[in-house]
Amino acid sequence: MAVVIEALAKHHDRAGFTCGQPDLDDWFRRRAGQDERRNVARVFVAVDDDLGVVGFYSLGAFTLALGALPDDVARKLPRYDAIPAALIGRLARDERARGRGIGDLLLADAILRILGAGRTLAVFAIVVDAKEERAARFYGAFGFRAFPGRLERMFLLTSTAAAGLERL
């Protein structure tokens, strides 16, 4: 299975995509293109030569309130009202590609793009929303931590992500 990750375009057939989460499927089929055109999100798709679109993720700018961060992180930061972050708003892989590492590939690509943008635009952390326990375990395996009081929202410091890449 040869997979390429590229920006969402009109020629990508989204109609048959299903990840098992109706909200994610609906957003991808009906609103991903609109969000892209409105500059609300950048959407990237994983495309397999035989299966077509087998996954996607979206990226957007985000800010964190200093008080939302755990104390061990917040105490090291200046007392600004907003801390710059990047949001991986949605990430899903098609059920047809289950067990093939597509989710890992999508997350790695998203993190690499965010770190690349971080050379031009300040990005302190990467934020995700884990809609279910399985998603939280997935992100946790990559070092994402839950925000205090918001277990579904998780973050990874870009410094941690960059250090992890240097070890590879």
Q: In what order do the strands lie in the sheet with 125-129?
A: 3-7, 42-48, 52-64, 83-93, 125-129, 150-157, 145-147
Mean pLDDT of the chain: 93
Provide φ and ψ at 100, rounded to 5°: -105, 10
Q: Which residues are catalytic?
A: 139
Cα dist. 160→21, 32, 126 in Å? 30, 29, 10
35 CB contacts (<8 Å, ≥6 apart)?
A: 41, 43, 58
Full domain range(s) for residue 62: 3-166
- Nearest to 66, CA basis, from 121, 143, 148, 136: 148
Contact by Cβ (8 Å): 162, 123: no
Q: Kindly report which listed range (1-5, 55-59, 164-168) carries the lowest average pLDDT score.
A: 164-168
Tokens of 25: 């499927």
Domains in the chain, number:
1
Query: What pLDDT score does 2 carry?
Result: 87
Tokens of 91: 């990430």
**For the domain that residue 155 is a member of, what is the CATH number?**
3.40.630.30
| Span 4-17, pLDDT tens digits | 999 999 999 999 99
Cα–Cα distance for residue pair 103/21, rounded to 1 Å: 14
| Span 20-71, pLDDT tens digits | 999 999 999 999 999 999 999 999 999 999 999 999 999 999 999 999 999 9
